């Protein structure tokens, strides 16, 4: 899984360079799929419960699972790319949110706080802590900056299957939920809104969008629990 995580991190690094005004999310998806396949891996998402693409390509009010299309990225948009790879029998999963051209300071803050909330959650992921500790830490950090945590979507275990138990909420109470144990591998993925946290299905039935049309950002890493703490598998050292 560490090998697959490194492949995914390299693909994401290359994809960051391609996000710009004027490109379509379908073009970005084709580029991502080409990079995954040329690395000797497969796209985790393609065909998963009928999903038609390699990546999830969400813009502005779209939170997750938006299907790549001919929609063109415009200056001032924010773009969330969610991508998974299947390598040597195991999955890894990662998401980033990027500015498209020039964005406002408030939108920059949304992206920054979302990324930092993932880092906050990772620091809580230690043997003996609980998943409630992770969710509580993320929620407190996000709300202290004036944003909201999406309640109806969550992180998850991962391994031979893309989505495994447990479900990992991005909110909660300290001490609640299962305890974290050595050897666990799971995905933390805070999804944060600039407005209300309620969501609804997108028109295509695949994705989720904010109910009030507010902007949303999303970051995700696959991590494993070791004796010395958490190790992020989807980052380049």
pTM score: 0.96
pLDDT digits (tens, 9 = 90+) for 157-170: 999 999 999 999 99
Question: What is the pLDDT confidence band of residue 204, given thresholds at 50, 70 and 90?
Answer: confident
pLDDT in tens, 102-147: 999 999 999 999 999 999 999 999 999 999 999 999 999 999 999 9
* Residue corresponding to tokens 């080409």: 34
Tell me the mean pLDDT in the region 195-200.
97
**pLDDT grade for 237, boundaries at 50, 70 and 90:** confident
pLDDT the model gives residue 236: 85
pLDDT at 205: 80
Count CB atoms within 10 A of the CB of residue 52.
13
Whole-number pLDDT of residue 128: 95
Instruction: Give residue 203's pLDDT.
Output: 84
Tell me: pLDDT of 51 over 90: yes
Rounded CA-CA distance 2/172 in Å is: 29
Secondary structure, 3-state, 190-220: CEEECCCCCEEECCCCCCEEECCCCCEEECE
Domain-wise residue ranges, the chain: 2-232
Q: How confident is the model at residue 10 (pLDDT cuts 50, 70, 90)?
A: very high
Alpha-carbon distances of 208 from 60, 62, 100, rounded to whole Å: 11, 6, 20
Tell me what the pLDDT averaged over the chain comes to: 97
Tens of pLDDT, residues 62-110: 999 999 999 999 999 999 999 999 999 999 999 999 999 999 999 999 9
Task: Assign domain 2-232 one CATH number from 3.40.50.2300, 3.40.50.720, 3.10.20.70, 3.90.230.10.
Answer: 3.90.230.10
């Amino acid at each position: 899984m560490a090998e697959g995580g490194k492949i995914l991190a390299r693909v994401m690094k290359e994809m960051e360079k391609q996000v710009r005004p004027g490109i379509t999310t379908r073009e970005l998806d084709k580029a991502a799929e080409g990079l995954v396949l040329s690395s000797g891996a497969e796209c985790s998402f393609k065909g998963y419960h009928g999903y038609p693409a390699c990546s999830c390509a969400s813009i502005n009010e779209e939170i997750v699972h938006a299907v790549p299309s001919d929609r063109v990225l415009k200056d001032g948009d924010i773009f969330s790319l969610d991508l998974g790879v299947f390598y040597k029998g195991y999955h890894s999963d990662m998401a980033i949110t990027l500015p498209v051209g020039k964005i406002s300071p408030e939108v920059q803050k949304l992206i920054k706080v979302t990324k930092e909330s993932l880092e906050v959650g990772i620091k809580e992921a230690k043997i003996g802590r609980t998943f409630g500790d992770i969710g509580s830490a993320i929620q407190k950090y996000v709300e202290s900056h004036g944003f909201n945590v999406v309640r109806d979507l969550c992180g998850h275990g991962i391994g031979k299957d893309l989505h495994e138990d447990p479900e990992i909420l991005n909110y909660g109470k300290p001490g609640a939920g299962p305890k974290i144990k050595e050897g666990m591998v799971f995905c933390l993925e805070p999804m944060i809104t600039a407005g209300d946290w309620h969501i609804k299905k997108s028109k295509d039935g695949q994705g989720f969008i904010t109910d009030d049309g507010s902007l949303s950002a999303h970051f995700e890493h696959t991590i494993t629990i070791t004796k010395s703490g958490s190790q992020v598998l989807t980052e380049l050292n």
